[in-house]
Amino acid sequence: MRAMWSGSISFGLVNIPVKLFSGSESRTLDLDMLRKGDLCPIKYLRVCKLDNKEVPYEEIVKGYEYTDGEYIVLTDKDFESASVEKTHLIDILDFVDEREIDTRYFEKPYYLEPDKSGTKAYALLREALKRSGRVGIATFVLRNRGSLAVIKPLDDLLVLNNIRFQNEIRSPEELKLPGSENLREQEVELALTLIDQLTTKFDPAKYKDKYLDDLKRVIQEKAQGREPQPAAAPAQPGKVIDMMELLKESLKQKKKEAA
């Protein structure tokens, strides 16, 4: 893997030199945009809005529109000079119980690897986090953007999970949500029984992207000149009249599968 950032973790008065690596990768199909008539590939151009002329990449700069039509151009040096220290620092501000963090905040995982001079301090922070059962809340700058993160141990690794700031989370107040006053206790008990029967230990390897596999099958069939066969559609339930009956049928189905 190739490091995408290097700097240090600030832990009290301790600085731990580290490198940051992406902890995830996309597994989607790479589809090209084509012209329908002759399948000519579509090319995207960077075009000036004023004269419609293409602009070479090396002539493109970043700017902020501070008044209508007036821009301040920012260079790489400007981004770094905004805070030289923060652009090379993962600053741990607090330690919290991970269970207190709403899952809506989590965004993307990264791996932290210590520099040769920081191995002992890295191991110290990792073991202290393991024994405390807590995670670190830190700020850092990545790709000219201030970010918030959770740092947690995973075996011998320190994982940095990029999380959202509070003002990036939308409020659900505008959604029309049902209350629980119309639920019968028997329905809740049956739902709990069904959940118990479906409960298992989390194994991420168990879950596959079946849609991606089906899409690859369709591509293979078309490449062979065959008309793709649609996958079996799930049965569409009718209107829910008796929730108790649906829950009972679900439990029966689960028992059949177990047998």
Q: If you write DSSP's letter for every residue of 172-218 in order, what string do you get? A: -TTS----STT--HHHHHHHHHHHHHH-----GGG---HHHHHHHHH
CA distance 146 to 206: 35
The CA distances from residue 85 to 8, 10, 49, 151, in Å, are 10, 11, 37, 19
CA distance 51 to 44: 17
Residues 162 and 191 in one domain: no
Cβ atoms of 161 and 217 within 8 Å: the answer is: no
Domain that holds residue 148: 5-27+81-166
Residues 85 and 192 in one domain: no
In this prediction, residue 101 carries a pLDDT of: 94
- Whether 158 is covered by a domain: the verdict is yes
Residues recorded for the chain: 259
Residues 200 and 121 in one domain: no
In this prediction, residue 76 carries a pLDDT of: 81
The CA distances from residue 256 to 19, 198, 217, 250, 251, in Å, are 51, 13, 30, 10, 9
Residues 254 and 213 in one domain: yes
- Whether 117 is covered by a domain: the verdict is yes
CA distance 18 to 8: 5
User: What total number of domains does the chain contain?
Assistant: 2
In this prediction, residue 41 carries a pLDDT of: 93
Low-confidence residues of the chain: pLDDT under 70: 82-86, 231-241, 258-259
In this prediction, residue 236 carries a pLDDT of: 58
Residues 205 and 253 in one domain: yes
Residues 18 and 134 in one domain: yes
Tell me the helix, strand and coil percentages in the chain, rounded to 5.
35, 30, 40
- Whether 219 is covered by a domain: the verdict is yes
**Does the global pTM surpass 0.85?**
no
